[in-house]
Amino acid sequence: MEIVRIYLRLVEERHLEEARRHLAPEAEITFPGGRRFDDLDAQVAAAAGRYRAIRKVFEGFDVIGAAESIVVYAFGELEGEDLAGRPFAGVRFIDRFELVDGRITSHRVWNDLAEAMRERSSE
């Protein structure tokens, strides 16, 4: 679980080289809408068109498995700043990680960010 927490903070802070150390060579990263990324640079570039800043506020972690292969669910709320510079908070998220031998082989993301931004734009 601690690897997941560290990895997510490193990505948020854009310490991508350090974050990559926690990824297996063929790690799969999938974001809402089925958007797949082969590397962190592509993931960060795609995010630049969606918000200025984002941070995960963790409510908890569920860990399944043991030893060399585990699944970790991280869940909580997103907070940050939209492209117009307005703050947002309270957006639900859940991330599912698969780890083998201590390295992330899969990271799948689900959140309500698109819905929250759609609601904001109609206000």
Instruction: Render pLDDT for 100-115 as a digit per residue (tens, 0 to 9).
Output: 999 999 999 999 998 8
Convert the pLDDT of each residue in 45-57 to its tens digit. Answer: 988 888 899 999 9
CA 80 to chain centre: 13
Confidence of residue 123 (pLDDT cuts 50, 70, 90): low
Q: For the segment 20-42, what is each residue's pLDDT rounded down to a tens digit?
A: 999 999 999 999 989 999 889 99
Angle, in degrees to the nearest 10, between helices 2-12 and 40-47: 50
pTM for this model (two decimals): 0.90
Q: What residue ranges do the domains of the chain occupy?
A: 2-121
Torsion of CA 9, 78, 94, 20, to 10 degrees: -20
Percent of the chain with pLDDT over 90: 74
Q: Is 105 helix (H, G, I), strand (E, B) or coil?
A: strand
Q: What CATH number does the domain located at 2-121 have?
A: 3.10.450.50
* Contact indicator for 93, 72 with CB cutoff of 8 Å: no
Q: Are 71 and 104 in contact (CB under 8 A)?
A: no
The pair of structure tokens assigned to 28 is 């799969």
Does the pLDDT value for residue 90 go beyond 70? Answer: yes
